Structure 1
C-alpha cells in the first residue's frame, strides 16, 4: 500500500528498532511507496512511511532491493557530496563512502551480503542513516 511520506524531523530523528520475520509484509509498503515516488526518489527507509523499524529499500539499477536490519560492515574511499531527501526540502552536504559492503536479511529472511559502489552505495548509506535517526 502506498503510504504518506513523513516530514516530521522529530520522528525521523528516532533510531529504528530491529525488524523480525513478522515485519516482512513491510516490504510491500516500501515497494509500493517507492514506486509511487520513482520520479523523485531512489530509496526509502521505513521511518519515512511512519514505521520505526530498521528496514530500507533502494533502487539498484532496475531492481528494488529491500533490506531488513541492514548493516554496513565495510566502507572505503570517503568523499563529500550533496544529497536531497523526499522527507526534506532542498539539499545538504554529507560525507559518504564510494564503496561499501552491506549485510542484511532479504525478503525471504535470508542473510545476504552485497558490495556496492558509487551511486548505489550512496543510496544505501543515506537510507541506513535514516534508520539510525541521522538526517542529512
Structure 2
C-alpha cells in the first residue's frame, strides 16, 4: 500500500529499531511507496512512511531492492556532495563514500553481503542515515 511521506523532523530523527519477519508488510508498503514516487525519489527508509523499523529500499536501475537491517561495514574514498530528500525541502551538503560494503537481509530475510559503489552507494548511505535518525 502506498503510504504518505512523513515530513516531521522529530519523527525522522528517531533511531529505527531492528526489523523482524513480522515487519514484512512494511517492506511491501515501502516498495509500493517508492514505486509511486520514483519520478523524483531513488530510495526510502521506513521512517519516511511512519514506520520505525530498520528497513530501506533503493532503486537500482529500474529494480527497487529492499534491505532489512542494513549495516555498512566498510567505507572507502570519502567525497563531498549535495543531497536532497523527499521528506525535506532543498539540498544540503554531506560527506559520502564512493564504495561501501553492506550486510543486510533481503526481502526473504536471507543474509546478504555486498559491495556497492557510485550513486547506488550514495543512496544506501543516505537511507541508512535515516535509520540512524540522521538527517542531511
TM-score, normalised on structure 2?
Answer: 0.98
Structure 1 residue 63, shift from structure 2 partner: 1.4
**2:45 equivalent in structure 1:** 45
**1:135 equivalent in structure 2:** 135
SS in 2 for 1:84: strand
**1:91 equivalent in structure 2:** 91
Distance in 1 (alpha carbons) for counterparts of 2:114 and 2:39 = 25
Cα deviation digits, residues 29-79 of structure 1 (max 9, x gap): 011100110110000000000001100000112211101100001110000
CA-atom RMSD in angstroms: 0.6
**1:29 equivalent in structure 2:** 29
Cα deviation digits, residues 67-106 of structure 1 (max 9, x gap): 1100001110000000000000000000000000111011
Distance in 1 (alpha carbons) for counterparts of 2:97 and 2:125 = 8
Matches within 5 A, 1:1-136: 1-136=1-136
Distance in 2 (alpha carbons) for counterparts of 1:97 and 1:52 = 25
SS in 1 for 2:88: coil
SS in 1 for 2:120: helix
Runs of 4+ deviating beyond 4 Å: none
